[in-house]
Structure 1
Amino acid sequence: MEKIARSYGYIDPNFPNPGGEKDTPVIIYGYTPSIALAAFAAAWFFLHFVYHTAQTIKNRSWWWMTFSAGLIFEVIGYIARSLSAKKNPYHLIYFILNYFFIVVAPVLLVAGIYTILSALIPRVGSRYSFLPPKVILAFFITSDVISTIVQVAGACLIGVKESRRQDPTTANNILLGGLAYQVFVMTIFVILAASFQFRARHVIRANELGLFCFAFSISTLIVYLRTIFRLAETAQGLMGELQTNEVYFACLEFAPIALVVLLFAIWYPGRCVGAAVRVNDKP
């Protein structure tokens, strides 16, 4: 399918614009989304939502419910993307719902990852961590909420500007600022998590947590690299190479998050770390 490029966006020659009230003059995605990818992603995350929620109830590890919430956000986001792909890729509401839920979902998933470190620290030993668990949870979750609000605001403004054929540069810069802050915060978390696990490596092995901590580390790095991709995509500007090629979205947005939820399904945190998150060292 040949793309028709415009200075103001992308128009699919095989998908005429319905010209509805909520339809934008161009496809803001930069391409017509794939229904196969969107439908598969919705099904994948729904199955993992069912599994993770069932495990949370079984193990009474209620602190992991943020992960289930993130998974249901992924499902909603990809359902909206499916509607864009199958029904109308020009529809502004479908795009906003797709972007909002797919951007916010990893924040909830990462909140679970932050909680894992906070649960590991008292179990393994607080002396190995540079920060106490309460500070880690409060700082990183608050920072993620702030960065997400900024990102969503920027994305919504981009949609509005595109629909009015106005310059979206300022809106894109707002989105870029939110992503840059998120990358900065995650960089700090990666350093903290890596230093803690290195200093506590002998205790981690003694507690038979080696495989779980490996899965935790890989998942953290995957989410971190996914956030860097989002930053690079936004830094290129609208209709840049990363934004207008769905292969990059599939490989650097969907695939990393899909792998993370699979890793935590195999090494379920509520079973490996414990049902409760304590803030003091074990006696």
Structure 2
Amino acid sequence: MSAQSHSNGYIDPNWPDPNGSQDAPIIIYGYHPSFAIALLAALLFTLSLVLHAYQIIRYRTLYLCTIPIALILEVLGYVFRSLSARQDPYSLIWFVLQYFFIVTAPVFLSAAIYAVLSVLINKVGKKYSPIPPKLVLGVFISSDAVMTVVQICGAAMIGAAESKDKDPTTGKNILMAGLAVQVFSFFIFLILLGVVLWRSRNALLGLRAFIFAFVAATMLVYVRTCFRLAEVAQGVKAYLFTHEDFFACLEFAPIAVAMLLFNVFHPGRYLRKESDEVAGGTSGEEKV
């Protein structure tokens, strides 16, 4: 499929602008989004959603209820992205909706990660953590929530400016500020996680597989957040934003793998309360 880049933005001659009331004069993505990627993502996240819903009930892990929320948002985001790909890549509303859902979803996954560390601290002993487990939840979830609102506002301003061929600098600066604080906050969380795991290493000998999966999922979410910051720093019409390969490898793939890791190494299997372990006749160190 041929494509053309114009001074005012990207258009695809095989998909002429339908000039609808909700259409931008350019394809804001910077490329024609792939229907195959959007469909694959929607299917994978739907499968993971079904499994997580079952696992939350099976293992009674209500503290992981934010994961299904994240998955629902991911599915919605990729559904709207598929509409952009198949029906109208110029649609401003579909671009904004897919961006909103896909950008917001990982925040709920991060909340689950914070909750898992909090539960892990309670399981191995609060003495291993520099701060109380409840404070872990309060500080990091609050930071993510506020910064996500900031990012959404910035992204909306960028989309509106690009659709009207205006300067998106203000929106970009707001979005960058939100992402920068989020990256910094998550980095502090990684330090806290490292401290807890190092101090409690002798108490975690039977949980090595789970800890490895948990750390891997956490790092994947962090990589995705760093990618978003780099993407915005370059600009909407720059290389990272306008090449879908980066989106697929550094947005879709990290979150998909992280979600699936939580399916396979579900915290409910490893971080059960002692009463649940006895009642279920299993060990909290159950292997996959």
Short-chain TM bin: over 0.9
Q: Deviations over 1:223-264 (max 9, x none)?
A: 111100000000001111000000000000001011101111
After TM superposition, the structure 1 = structure 2 runs for residues 121-140 of structure 1, keeping only pairs within 5 Å, are 121-140=121-140
Cα distance in 2, alignment partners of residues 36 and 21 from structure 1: 27
47 and 275 in structure 1: CA distance in 2 versus 1, 3 angstrom threshold: farther
Quote the offset at 1:275 in angstroms.
Answer: 6.6
In the alignment, which of 215, 220, 225 is matched to residue 217 of structure 1?
A: 215
Normalising to structure 2: TM-score of the pair? 0.93
| Contact kept? 1:209, 1:272, Cα under 8 Å | yes
Q: Name the residue aligned to 1:280.
A: none
Change (3 A) 1:7 1:223: same
Mapped to 2, the partners of 1:32 and 1:227 lie a distance apart of 23
Does residue 116 of structure 1 match 2:112?
A: no
Secondary structure at the counterpart of residue 10 of structure 1: strand
Q: Distance in 1 between matches of 2:105 and 2:118?
A: 20
Partner Cα distance (2:140, 2:117) in 1: 11
Change beyond 3 A, Cα 1:10–1:275: farther
Q: Hey, what does 1:82 align to over in structure 2?
A: 82
Q: How does 1:145-184 map to 2 (within 5 A)?
A: 145-184=145-184
The 8 Å contact of residues 217 and 261 in structure 2, kept in 1 or not, is answered as yes
CA contact (8 A) 2:151 2:174 kept: yes
State the SS of the aligned residue for 1:209: helix
The question of whether the paired residues in 2 share the 8 Å contact of 1:60 and 1:275 is answered with no
- Please state if 1:38 is matched with 2:38: yes
CA distance in 2, matches of 1:108, 1:275: 24
Q: Distance in 2 between matches of 1:109 and 1:159?
A: 25
CA distance in 1, matches of 2:194, 2:5: 44
Counterpart contact for 2:30–2:241, Cα < 8 Å: yes
- How far apart are 1:125 and its partner, in Å? 1.2
Measured after TM superposition, the shift of residue 8 of structure 1 is: 2.5
Cα separation, 2, equivalents of 1:6 and 1:179: 29
Question: 1:214-253 maps to which residues of 2 (within 5 A)?
Answer: 214-253=212-251
Give the stretch that moved more between structures: 1-10 or 145-154.
Answer: 1-10
Rounded Cα–Cα distance in structure 2 between residues aligned with 1:194 and 1:210: 14
Over the matched positions of the two proteins, sequence identity in percent amounts to: 52
TM-align CA RMSD: 1.1
Runs of 4 or more above 3 Å deviation: none
For residue 239 of structure 1, what is the amino acid of its counterpart? Answer: K
The question of whether the paired residues in 1 share the 8 Å contact of 2:8 and 2:165 is answered with yes
> What one-letter code is carried by the residue in structure 2 that aligns with 1:115?
A
Report the Cα distance in structure 1 between the residues aligned to 2:48 and 2:253, rounded to whole angstroms: 14
Distance 2:25 2:273 in 1: 51
- 2:157 and 2:98 map into 1 onto residues whose CA distance is 15
Unaligned stretches of 5+ in structure 1? 277-283
Q: Answer 1 or 2: higher relative contact order, Cα 8 Å, separation at least 6.
A: 1
Q: CA deviation at 1:272?
A: 1.5
Given that 1:62 and 1:275 are in contact with CA atoms closer than 8 Å, whether structure 2 keeps it comes out as: no
Mapped to 2, the partners of 1:232 and 1:13 lie a distance apart of 29
In structure 1, distance between residues paired with 2:252 and 2:170: 27
Task: Find the counterpart in structure 2 of residue 141 from structure 1.
Answer: 141
Whole-angstrom distance in 2 between the partners of 1:211 and 1:58: 20
How far apart, CA to CA, are the structure 2 residues paired with 1:6 and 1:270?
A: 52
Equivalents in 2 of 1:275, 1:60: separation in Å?
Answer: 10
Tell me, which stretches of 5 or more residues in structure 2 are unaligned?
275-288
CA contact (8 A) 1:143 1:185 kept: yes
The match for 2:257 is 259
Match in the other structure for 1:269? 267
1:261-283 superposed Cα distances (whole Å, 9 cap, x missing partner) = 1111111112221279xxxxxxx
Deviation at 1:51, TM superposition (A): 0.4
Shift of 1:58: 1.5
- Comparing 77-86 with 155-164, greater Cα deviation is found at 155-164
